[in-house]
Structures are given as structure tokens and as C-alpha cells.
Amino acid sequence: MDGDLRKSDPQFTSGSEGDWIARRIASAMGKAPIRKDTANALAEMTRAKFGERILRSSELSELAKKLMAI
Amino acid sequence: MHVDRIELSWFRGAGAAAALDTAQKSICIYGPNGAGKSTFVDAFEYLLKGGKIEHLSHEYSGKRQEKAVLNTHRPADGKCRIEITFAGNRKVSAHIPPNGAATFSGTDIIKGWDIGRLLLRQNEVSRFIHAAKGEKYSALLPLLGLTELENTAVNLRALAKAIQDIGRMGALRAEREALLTRFRECFGGKGKDAILAEVQRLHRKYVPNGPVTTDIMSGAAEIAAALDARIASLELENRRFFLLQGARRADCLKRFLSVQAEGSKAASAAQELVDEKLAILNDTVTYATKLTADIQITCPACGQEISSNEFKRHVTAEQARLSGVIAAFNARRRALGDLASALETMRASLNDKALESWRAENAQQDVLQALTKLAELDADALRNTITPEQQECLEQTLPKLTSWLDDALRRAPPGAQELVTHKDIIAVIASVDRIRELGERVTSLEALHSFVVEMEVQTRQEIKARSEALIAEISADMQRMWATLHPGEPIDEVRLYMPDDADKAIDIAVKFHGIAQPSPRLTLSEGHRNSLGLCVFLALAKRDPEQSRPIILDDVVTSFDREHRGQVADLLMKEFSGRQLILLTHDRDWYVELKFRLPHKEWNFCLLQPWSDPRTGVRVASSRSDFEEAKQLIAVSVNAAGNVTRAIMDVAMGIIAERLEVPMPFCRGDKNDRRSAVDFMQHLRSVGRKALRIRNGSEGNYPVDVP
């Protein structure tokens, strides 16, 4: 772990829903700690891709590989 | 964005031209049954849903509902068309050709309009009340604006599963566990020093001229190289032993038995599911073509009416259910792969030239036959599937070969067994790096997996927190509306709530005569349930972010008694002043009552003429049927003015008679609705005479003259 995430971290505060994603990512970090850059990547995916529609399994596989490669 | 005018041509019940003008005010439309009121509502829904009408989504309506949307009696040159004009002369229209492939224009005006908050039909009033908790959740989620969060939660769950599958977490854990088990078997609870001492002992034996090793791993590597060199230099007899040892260690028989066990598990897991899935598949094929956005379909799995989005969620759930079977098949495939590799190892060992003469000298005839059969087997093909013939071949050959190898290994040359044991010890020590590597990989994957799972949990908590906040606001609106509709009644505290025992569920609670009830279905009458359904809809409509959109209520008070219908007028005035409402009713009395009670500054009233035939279609009456119209008609035609006045009186007297509780004899058919003012007056007079007789004690002694 290279530092705790905070709501005020700039990467989590952009966008209209940034607040809830930041809050929940920080809370998830408290319960299931992970590297900060991985958490950043998941936050970014959540913000950019997950809300719009239910993704196909091939799309999710790509995203899983990206996270695993970090 | 108030509606100004709806124009229809050969759409549903409309003939060549049917138009409804609202003058951008709220409007109450009365029409007897079958007059075509809902044709206007259908037109609205058709435009909002991009060419679909929910109640027409059935097997008879055609792929694009063309069999139901186009007037059945339109002439050859009759063009089917809808046009709705909104404030500012902004128009949305649809041209619908005979094949139903409509072309739309101006739809950007209504983009994002949520029909669930704008339109309520008679048959939908209590649908929400009767829906299951999960269905209520699915229905409310988009209205609460939480669809994005729900999508996020679903995607996070699938992402966690993808990490598990792609990372082969199960396989890596199993490999690490197997290596650890071997290590524990070999060294038990020995510490690092004891292992180093063992390495140094073997190092002295096999690398006698080298310096004393102080590092476990490098020492083990030197010993392994020395052992390999020593085995390679062994005499033929010893080399044969190692080849036989290699063949036996491949343990083909064990792996074959494992294939059989996994095959049996997969078969039993699959059988029931395959039967079920085949039946579902047949239904799914029928419905697959309807999987466009926002249509209602019957779920082939549960038989309930659901939206296509909900159907997709069902499919996702089915995929999750299938994962158990998929895991069983994967396990079988892995077992087949292991068997194929083991067979290759065994054959390579047994076919080694070093064993050629030895094989001929020692093996019995049936073992030689088994070896020949095994040599003919396509081991690579085994990685995917195993045929009954291959299975039979392995059943016949492997037990014999295993027993023969065990026999041969019992006669190991002196010293050879010790080399094998030492080689094993060194292999176990060498596996420490792999154990560490696997441990790191599994820990990293588990951390990622747990984090994504936790994020889904967090998202669900976010949904719940937001839902509860919104639900509390909506519940407050519902309670206020309910109190307006049912003042002083012993049913109160109506509210939406999220049950603690379910993740994705919403239900309605009420207090019935002081006792809290978890569902209105337990105690409420149909009328009250419908009333509650109306409150839920109106509370949600009130939350529409764009309050200039119209609300359409199509015959929603059918099951209400007169008193509660009267309260609906109060409710609409109190809660929706300034919002455009389009009310449609076939209840003439309610229409007249609304006409008396609702402010004409904000409301228009309109009558539809009784239906005659599909070519004529829906007809909006030109008469306004009010005293103002009658007054204007006096100059033109006294008879016409009298007719309008009589029509007004016919309805008004009905309401007055009911309020005075004047009993009216029941008439057959629709005559109850066609009583004239004269009928009411006659009964009123009759009841009045009787009442006065009772009051004065004697007939004929009237304090006032009763006409």
C-alpha cells in the first residue's frame, strides 16, 4: 500500500458523480486494501464505463486484464 | 412543455382526422366506453416509446405492432399519422407506413421523458401495488434516477467474476496448495536451519569437491545438477529403473479415474439444466426479436411481464446460475488435459530405446498388447473429449500397465531408490520459489478481487442510501396525498420502504386501524389499493425533474366511489396546480363534477361522441355543453339552447340526487347513465312528499307546496 485514499484526492473529485465514487472507493479501501494506482484505475472505469449500460463479457475481460496488469 | 394539440389520422381508433385541442391548459375528456379516448393516450405513448405501445406488445400485433396501430378500415390512400404540438408550436410527429416502420420527427423535444412518471392507465393503477418486491425495485429504480448505479453494481459483480476466471485464481491456489502439501510431507515443521542442514548433507554427498554451501536454493540447484549427471551416467539397468519410475509417476490410472469422476459430476449437473434450458431456449428464440429498448415482454423463465432491460438482467442471473455447471465442465476438461499429459509422459518413458530389450524380456503378452493399444491412442485429441472407445481402451490397459510397473519398481536396483528419494527432496526445495511466486500472485489477485467485490457492496449501499432518502421524500408526498383522498380514515402512514432481508427490493407499508402492515395487499380493498396506486404514481410524477411536462390519467378512478372521486379533484387542485393534466374518463358524473369544481381558468373540458364505426373514428364533440354555450345559442335557436341546457341538467341533477341520497331504481343496460333531469326531478318529488308526510304525521297537510 502506498498511502490511503482520501475524498479530497484530485483524481476522485472530478465529474458530477465523482463525490460518491470517491467516497465509496475510499470506504472500499478501508475494508479491502489495495494499491492506490489500482484503486484509481477502478475509479476511472466506474466513472467512465460502468454506469451507462451493462457491459458485454468481452469488454469486462479487457477491463479485468487492465486491472490485473497494474 | 404543455401539449397544445394532438392530431391523429388513421391511427388506432382515429379516422381521417381527429384532433384534440387543449389550448395548453389541463383538460378533462369525457367519452362513453369505446369512444376512442385511449387512442389519444396510445398516440402519446407511441411517440414517447419510439413506436411501441405496451398493451399492444403481443403475438397478434405484428413485429412493429402494425396490425394494431394502423386503423383496420383505413382506405388505400389513408396515411397513418400522429402529430403532437407543444407550447411554442414545437411539433413531434410520426408517419406510420403499412409495415409499421415509422419515421419520426421532432423527437428531441420529448427525449428523456419518462413515461412511468407521465402516464397512468386504468389497468396500471394497482399494478405497482400487486408487483413483487423485486419488481417494485426495478420499476422504481429508473424513476429514482438510480439506473446508472444499478448498472455499475452489476458490472462490478461481473468484473469480479472475470478477474477470478482470467486470473485462474482457483487453479493457482490448487497448485500452490499441492506444492505446500509436498513440502510439509517432506520437511514437516522443520525450520530454515534444518532444511539448510539437509541441503548441506546432500551437497557433501553429491558435490563432494565443492565448497560448503550456505544458501539453500543455490545449494539445491548444484545438487540437482549433480544428481542428473549421476543418473545419466548410470548403467543400463539403473537407467531403466528411472524410466519405469517416470512412467509410473505419470500416474495415468489415477488421472483416468479422475476424468471418470469429473465426467460423472458434470453429467449429473448438466442433465437437469439441459432439459430446462432447452425449454427456455425455445421461448427465448420467440422473444429475441423483441429485445429492443423499453418494451414489455413475458419472461420465459418466470412468465411475468417485464421490460426488456429486466429480461437482460434475468439472462445475467441465468448465466450466474450456469456457472456451477460451467465449473464442472471446466474441471472435467482440466482432468482430461492432465490425463493427456500423463499419457504422453508414460509413453515417452516406456517407448525409450533403453527399455526395448528389457520390455521384450520381462513383459507378459497382454502387457505388450496394452502398450501397443496405448501407442495407437491420440493423446492430443483427449484434451478436449474422450470417446467411448478411448474410454474402453484405457479401462482395459491402464490397470494392467500400472500393476506391471509397480511390480517392476519393487525390484529396483540397489542405490537407485535413494537417488530418487534425494531427487524428490531437492525438487521440493526447488519448488519454494514457485510457492512464493504463486503466493504473491494469488494474494495480489485476491486483493484485487476483494476490492472489486467490496466496491460492488459499496455501490449497493450507495443505492440503498440514496433510495431511502428519495423514498422518504416520496413517502411524505404519498402520505399527504392519501390523507387528501381518505381524510379521517383509519388507514394511514402509507409509505415505501426497503426491506432489510433483501438487497434489491422495495415495498409499501400501511397502518391499518392502528396496526402496521408490511403490505397493502394484506388488508386493503381493491378500491383502496387503486387509490394507493394512484398516490404512488402521483408522488413519483411530482418528482419529475421537469414539471412542465403533462401528466396523463386515463380512466384511473373506475374503482373509486363517488366520495373518493370527489377527493381526487381536491387532490389535483392542491398538488398539481400549474401542471398540465390530461384526464380521460368514461364516468359522466365525475366529468360533470370536475367541470363544476375545477377552475376553468386552468382547465378545458371536452366530450367525445359515441363511437359509430372505424371509418368515422374518434369524434370530438363541437359542443362545450355549458350554460355559456346555451346562452349564446338563444339568439340562434331557442331549441338548441334548450337542448344544451337539458343536457347540463341531466347530469347535474344526477349529482344532486345522489348527494341528497335520493334512491333511483336500477335500470338495465346503460340506461342508468342516460337518465334525464326529468327522471331525477320525479324521484326527488316522490321522496320529498314521503319525507314531509313523515315529518308532519299526516298526508295532505304540507307546510309548503310540493309541485
Residue-wise pLDDT tens digits, B576-587: 988 999 999 988
* CA B499/CA B507 separation, integer angstroms: 7
**What is the mean pLDDT of the segment spanning B573-600?**
88
Helices (H), B411-515: 416-485
Compute CA distances B45 → B40, B82, B161, B295, B377, whole Å: 9, 11, 39, 11, 66
Q: Identify the band that residue A14 occupies on the pLDDT scale cut at 50, 70 and 90.
A: very low
pLDDT tens sequence across B65-111: 999 999 999 998 999 999 999 999 999 999 999 999 999 999 999 98
Of A33, A50, A57, the CB nearest to B156: A50
Q: Which of B217-226, B229-238, B328-337, B493-502 has the lowest mean pLDDT?
A: B229-238
pTM of the shown model: 0.60
CB contact under 8 A, B448 and A38: yes
Q: How confident is the model at residue B277 (pLDDT cuts 50, 70, 90)?
A: low
Buried b (16+ CB within 10 A) or exposed e, A21-50: bbebbbbbbeebbbbbebbbbbbebbbebb
CATH homologous superfamily of B3-118+544-618 equals P-loop containing nucleotide triphosphate hydrolases (3.40.50.300)
Q: What is the pLDDT of residue B639?
A: 86
Q: What is the pLDDT of residue B127?
A: 84
**Mean pLDDT within B36-52:** 93
Please give the pLDDT value at position B435: 92
Nearest-neighbour CA in chain A from B66: distance (Å): 30
| Cα torsion angle, B387, B389, B395, B401, sign | negative
Beta strands in B108-260 (DSSP E): 119-121
Please report the pLDDT score of residue B440 as a whole number: 93
Tell me B557's DSSP state.
Answer: T
Interchain proximity B451–A28, CB inside 8 Å: yes
Checking ipTM against 0.85, whether it exceeds it is no
Give the minimum alpha-carbon distance from A47 to chain B in angstroms, rounded to a whole number: 9
The domain locations on chain B are 3-118+544-618, 628-696
Does the pLDDT at position B349 exceed 90?
no
Nearest to B284 by CA among B258, B308, B260, B265: B308
| Residues of A whose CB is below 8 A from B159 | 45, 60, 63-64, 67
* CA B104/CA B113 separation, integer angstroms: 16
Neighbours of B639 (CB within 10 A): 9
Residue B28 banded pLDDT, cuts 50, 70, 90: very high
**pLDDT tens digit sequence for B470-518:** 889 889 999 999 999 998 888 888 998 888 777 778 889 999 998 988 8
The answer to whether A4 faces chain B, any CB pair under 8 Å, is no
**Predicted pLDDT of residue B240:** 78
- Tell me: the pLDDT tens digits for B163-192? 999 998 988 998 899 899 988 888 887 888
Tell me what the mean pLDDT of segment B12-36 comes to: 90
A17 pLDDT tier (thresholds 50, 70, 90): very low
A68 in contact with B at a CB cutoff of 8 Å?
Answer: yes
A54 part of contact set with chain B, CB < 8 Å: yes
Asked whether residue B286 carries a pLDDT value surpassing 60, the answer given is: no
B491 and B520 Cβ atoms separated by less than 8 Å: no
User: Please, which pLDDT band fits residue B278 given cuts at 50, 70 and 90?
Assistant: low
* Domain assignment of residue A49, given as a range: 10-69
Cβ count within 10 A of residue B86: 21
Q: Are A21 and A12 in contact (CB under 8 A)?
A: yes
pLDDT in tens, B639-670: 888 888 887 787 777 777 777 777 777 766 66
Assigned domain for A18 exists: yes
> Is A66's Cβ below 8 Å from some Cβ in B?
no
DSSP, res B558: T
Mean pLDDT of chain B: 83
Q: For residues B556 and B572, give the distance between their C-alpha atoms in angstroms, rounded to a whole number.
A: 13
Contact assessment for residue B105 and residue B92, using Cβ atoms and an 8 Å cutoff: yes
Secondary structure class of B609 (helix, strand, coil)? coil
The three three-digit cell numbers of residue A15, written as one number: 465529474
The residue-averaged pLDDT of B674-690 equals 80
Q: Compare B112 and B196 and report the one with higher pLDDT.
A: B196
> Do strands B515-517 and B507-512 pair parallel, antiparallel, or not at all (unpaired)?
antiparallel
Q: Report the pLDDT averaged over residues B583-601.
A: 86
Neighbours of B380 (CB within 10 A): 10
**What percent of chain B stands above pLDDT 90?**
26
B279-293, B493-507, B686-700: the lowest-pLDDT one: B279-293
pLDDT of B279 higher than 60: no
Q: Which pLDDT belongs to residue A7?
A: 39
CA B254, CA B398: separation in Å to the nearest integer? 9
Does residue A5 lie in a domain region? no
- In this structure, are residues B584 and B29 in contact, taking their beta carbons and an 8 Å threshold? yes
CB contact under 8 A, A61 and B162: yes
B4: helix, coil or strand?
A: strand
Helix (H) / strand (E) element for B309: namely helix B308-350
- The count of structural domains within chain A is 1
pLDDT for B458 equals 94
For the segment B540-568, the average pLDDT, to the nearest whole number, is 86
C-alpha distance from B269 to closest chain A C-alpha (Å): 24
Q: Do A49 and B155 touch (CB under 8 A)?
A: yes
**pLDDT for the residue numbered B153:** 93
Question: What is the rounded radius of gyration, in angstroms, for the C-alpha atoms of chain A?
Answer: 12
Instruction: Give residue B703's pLDDT.
Output: 52
Judged against a pLDDT cut of 80, whether residue B3 lies above it is answered with yes
Q: Give the span between the Cα atoms of B251 and B245, in whole angstroms.
A: 10
A55 CB neighbours in chain B (<8 A) are 155, 158
Domain-located, residue A24: yes
Query: What does the DSSP assignment read for A27-63?
Result: HHHHHS---HHHHHHHHHHIIIIITTSPPPHHHHHHH
Segment B518-530 mean pLDDT: 88
Pick B704 or B408 by higher pLDDT: B408
DSSP state of B620: B
- Per residue, the 3-state secondary structure of B100-121, as one string, reads CCCEEECHHHHCCCCHHHCEEE
Nearest by CB: A34 against B156, B448, B459: B448
Output the 3-class SS for B11-73.
ECCECCCEEEECCCCEEEEECCCCCCHHHHHHHHHHHHCCCCCHHHCCCCCCCCCHHHHECCC
Residues in Cβ contact with B353 at an 8 Å cutoff, skipping those fewer than 6 apart: none
Q: Which of B499, B532, B521, B452 has its CA nearest to residue B153?
A: B452
- What are the distances in angstroms from CA B61 to CA B42, B104, B139? 14, 20, 25
The maximal CA–CA distance of chain B, rounded, in angstroms, is: 145
Cβ–Cβ contact A34 with B under 8 A: yes
Q: What integer is the mean pLDDT of B315-321?
A: 61
Sequence-separated contacts (24+) of B656-660 with Cβ below 8 Å: B656/B680, B656/B684, B657/B683, B657/B684, B658/B562, B658/B589, B660/B684, B660/B687
Q: What is the pLDDT of residue B492?
A: 87
B162 chain-A contacts, CB cut-off 8 A = 57, 60-61, 63-64
C-alpha closest to that of B528 among B513, B542, B541: B513
pLDDT single digits (tens) B621-645:
876 677 887 888 888 888 888 888 8
Confidence check: pLDDT of A3 > 60? no
